[in-house]
Structure 1
Amino acid sequence: MQVKDLVVEFNVGRGRTVHAVSNISFDIARGETLGLVGESGCGKSTTARAIAGLLKSKSGSITFEGQELTSLAPAQLRSIRPRMQVVFQDPISSLNPRRRVRDIVGDPLQVWGRKDPGGELVSRSLEAVGLDPDLVGDRLAHQLSGGQCQRVSIARALILSPELLICDEPVSALDVSVQAQVLNLLEDLKSKFGLTMVFVSHDLGVVRNVTDRTAVMYLGKLCEILPSVELFHFPMHPYTVLLASASDDSSDSAGIEVKTDEMPSAMAPPGGCRFRTRCPFASSICAEEEPMFRELGPGHFVACHHPVTMPRTIPVRAAEAVAS
């Protein structure tokens, strides 16, 4: 998938507009897991929903397997939906509590008129996510735990054999003990079914462990794209450095502080670099000129006039991963 100059805005009345996503571009390789990270309100979930076709973009292009999606008629876009599925943040509210698990998972087959004699496809999909169809198939969704509900959501997304799976904060609503189980499940499913994934999260530790590359967003803009193995040890954008130090005290990124904790409004974002009002390295050029992406390392792109390039160390395991 290629996303180019994507813009998503929301009219909130009285002439006010929320600039949720502003001219961002990135690509996703087949078989890759791309992480989207940033603070709440940075536009990461909006981006994920836009590329899934759940939100209409104002401008820009989204190309999936060579086909441009934003110009398609609704019927044409609908025909592509089985190839792109979404796992939502809250597993309990994304399921109908009064329906049986077997019916929930089989719904996509009903929608697309695909036959499932004896419920074999539903059973295989439940088994793929670690649920026994004989034990949970006839239960109602409200009788399941949060972790089980998320497994059902994943089974429902997989039953149409999608190529791209978009996970919008899939573990943030779960207990810590259950999060690891769901993350391991997603890793196994990616390998088993050859999935390409977009993984949205505010937790950098999770993103580092489950993604190949990470795209960092701030106030509707992309500020850095880097290999995930470098996330805690070679961040170059001041905002990524701050996120890394806040997520991991052992990170080599500690020691930088924001000028203010207050994020500007998405209805009136700053000109130039949007992070400049909080950046400790901001200068006059940051207000006058929007920074463009530059490749400062292999596969490491930064949109900053004053990238952080101080010497830092990297653990042996991470160094080996970078070398490979």
Structure 2
Amino acid sequence: MKKILNRYVPNTLIFLAFVSVILFCFFNKDFSYSLQDAEQQKLELVSWVFSGVMGVVSFLAIFISFVYDNNLIGASKNLRQLYHPYGLGLEEFRANYNEYIRNISRRTNVNILFITVLVTTLLSIIIWGISALLYNGFSMKLPQKVSDVKAIVNVLVYAIWILLSGLLASLCHLLNHIRTKKDPLGGGFLPDKDHLLDIDLLSAEDTDLAEIFRIISPSIELHENPQNSNGNEISIFFPMTFSNIRFVIKLFDEKSNLLFRLYGITEKKDAGKPNFFIVSNSVTEKVAKVFKEQCVRAEFRYYNETFNKIARINGKVVTESKLFSVVPDKINYLTEDGIDRDHTLINNIQSNKFFIQQDYEALLAGEDV
């Protein structure tokens, strides 16, 4: 609601200013008035003062508009790279995100300047419009012949008022677009950082989610738990957290038998930052042995808010000393046969809750993770 008011209220106020002058003329169309010399001098003085103020304000507005419009162009380019991050790694992706946030950051002077221009525009339209009516004696007759100099001058006065008012309204409109972050290279408005880090909102945009998940997919680690001599610990690390990541990570052996499924949903908290979560800190040695000796590949599956699959990423197993980890590798573009039922695991769980389920029951019968 606030965004709608910011975008449309200024234009509505300018339109009402024009309407007020027209209504003033309509209700006084039969009014005959001739300016005295002293009144005309005061009217000219007010017009000159307003012209000077408007000139200074317009110069500042155009200068600042040029500067901030360049920022918005940069943000629009950043946005396209974030939506379609082809060839980007995590660091390049994060750098684009940080630069985008800097480019769309709203400065206080833009708001102050916009309010100044808006108020000056409204007053200028009304005062200059009424001044034009008084100067012409409320006459709006069109010239009937070329020799009718007075009627021609009257028309020119009104034309100048309309032209200047239109220029001021256009300047105000431009500043309002900058203030509300209108996308200069595409339609619509530039999203804020919360929108940019929400998978549910991104899935409704023109984005390549598979490429995004290729970069931001988490890794799984299995290592000894220093606080529990009889157990191991499974954790999940997100290099850059997005909200509403609904995922199921499946681990397979060399014969493609399903061993484990790790699943969960991320929340808005700490979005944009790296995050580390402990899934289980009491993994038995037998289960850990299966992890280390049997797991050879993985698949990351991602779902939207209606639990439709939106991306699949292949994962690979990395073993170093006492650390066993599963990391994302490449996008899986292959068409999958059969019905995907993995999403049922995350249908009713809360955000920032992560679970692991053992599926290789022939090896793990009776064991709990």
Q: TM-score range by the shorter chain?
A: under 0.3
Higher relative contact order (CA 8 A, sep 6+): 1
Q: Which of the pair has more CA radius of gyration?
A: 2
